[in-house]
């Protein structure tokens, strides 16, 4: 059974001090450390250290970053590397988010390099893929997802693939309040798992987590997690308030009790 993974992508929100206050409050809203799910928060780079300080060494909440560069160090003004994120206690890193692709011109070759660099340094990549509304309307969703997966993951060993989490984030659902239906998410996740099976093996694909992202809320998380094809969620807007993020985490814990 794949353990559910709930990731809060804060995007460009919260200063370091706001982040510390948020995490102190979040700790009070979450049940002990036996939630049976994995919980990750991905603050901006500037808040990683303050979040880490508040979480402390034994927190069940893990740290993630929202992006990274593929080189380890050097003359790359403004960039942050995998060793830097590891040193700050990050376990996960989001790669290829559609905002990075559309607003900052990220291309598939760079995304592939980032995935490889993350794996090399023991960071778990959360690879984001998803189609635009035009692509969905013209029936090319499966082709787009297939291409994005091949572009980013081809050539990885099975062992490396097993460390990757894929987040299906249809662009039309991000920040729009218009989530994919459970049926749409499940269909996309089945396609993704089939392609992962072809790139690696079906045994490896079966063990990999596929998250859904795009207007996830405390109201719709239960129905999204009702399918065993949906292994968790990548959450934007709804992770910025303590109560809504904590509610999502609680619903997810109840969705897949430990040992089931
Ligand atoms: P929203 O939950 O705000 O739609 O954002 C989703 C997202 O982009 C998470 O990475």
Instruction: Give 36's pLDDT tier (boundaries 50, 70, 90).
Output: confident
Nearest to 82 by CA among 95, 97, 101: 95
User: If you take atom 7 of ligand 1, which residue's CA is the nearest one?
Assistant: 236
Rounded Cα distance between 245 and 230, Å, is 18
Q: What are the DSSP calls for 49-107, one per residue?
A: HHHHHHH-TT-SEEEEES--BSSSSSS-TT--BHHHHHHTTEEEEEES-HHHHHHS---
Instruction: Give 260's pLDDT tier (boundaries 50, 70, 90).
Output: very low
Tell me, in angstroms, the distance from the centre of ligand 1 to residue 99's CA.
Answer: 10
Separation in Å, CA 220 to CA 137, 170, 179, 252: 23, 16, 8, 11
Tell me, in angstroms, the distance from the centre of ligand 1 to residue 237's CA.
Answer: 6
Reported pTM: 0.97
Specify the range with the lowest mean pLDDT, choosing from 7-11, 32-36, 77-81, 232-236. Answer: 32-36
pLDDT tens digits, residue range 65-98?
A: 999 999 999 999 999 999 999 999 999 999 999 9
Amino acid 30: pLDDT: 85
Tell me, in angstroms, the distance from the centre of ligand 1 to residue 215's CA.
Answer: 6
pLDDT tens digits, residue range 141-169?
A: 999 999 999 999 999 999 999 999 999 99
pLDDT tens digits, residue range 180-193?
A: 999 999 999 999 99
Ligand 1 pocket mutation pick from 236, 238, 240, 244 by most atoms within 8 angstroms of CB? 236
User: Residues enclosing ligand 1, CB less than 6 A?
Assistant: 9, 97, 169, 174-175, 213-216, 234-238
Nearest to 115 by CA among 99, 95, 98, 135: 95
Query: Would you name the residues annotated as active-site residues?
Result: 97, 169
List of residues 6+ apart from 75 with CB closer than 8 A: none
CATH of the domain spanning 4-255: 3.20.20.70
Q: What are the DSSP calls for 184-227, one per residue?
A: HHHHHHHHHHHHHHHHS-HHHHHHS-EEEESS--TTTHHHHHTS
pLDDT tens digits, residue range 177-225?
A: 999 999 999 999 999 999 999 999 999 999 999 999 999 999 999 999 9
Q: Where are the domains of the chain?
A: 4-255
Ligand 1 pocket mutation pick from 216, 238, 241 by most atoms within 8 angstroms of CB? 216
Tell me if 182 sits within 8 A of 226, measured CB to CB: yes
Nearest to 254 by CA among 225, 227, 215: 225
């Amino acid at each position: 059974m794949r353990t559910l993974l709930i990731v809060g992508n804060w995007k460009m929100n919260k200063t370091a001090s706001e982040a510390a206050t948020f995490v102190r409050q979040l700790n009070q809203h979450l049940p002990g450390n036996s939630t049976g799910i994995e919980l990750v928060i991905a603050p901006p780079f500037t808040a990683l250290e303050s979040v880490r300080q508040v979480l402390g060494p034994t927190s069940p909440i893990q740290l993630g970053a929202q992006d990274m560069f593929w080189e380890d160090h050097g003359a790359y003004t403004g960039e942050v590397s995998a060793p830097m994120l590891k040193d700050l206690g990050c376990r996960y890193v989001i790669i290829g988010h559609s905002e990075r692709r559309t607003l900052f011109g990220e291309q598939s070759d760079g995304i592939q390099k980032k995935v490889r660099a993350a794996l090399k340094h023991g960071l778990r990549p959360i690879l984001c893929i998803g189609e635009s509304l035009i692509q969905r309307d013209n029936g090319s969703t499966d082709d787009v997802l297939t291409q994005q997966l091949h572009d980013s993951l081809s050539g990885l060993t099975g062992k490396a693939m097993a460390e990757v989490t894929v987040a299906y984030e249809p662009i039309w659902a991000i920040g729009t309040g218009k989530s994919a239906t459970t049926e749409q998410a499940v269909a996309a996740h089945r396609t993704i798992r089939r392609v992962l099976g072809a790139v690696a093996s079906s045994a490896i694909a079966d063990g990999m987590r596929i998250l859904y992202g795009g207007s996830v809320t405390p109201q719709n998380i239960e129905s999204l997690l009702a399918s065993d094809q949906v292994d968790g969620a990548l959450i934007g807007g709804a992770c910025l308030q303590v109560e809504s993020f904590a509610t999502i985490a609680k619903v997810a814990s109840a969705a897949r009790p430990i040992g089931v």
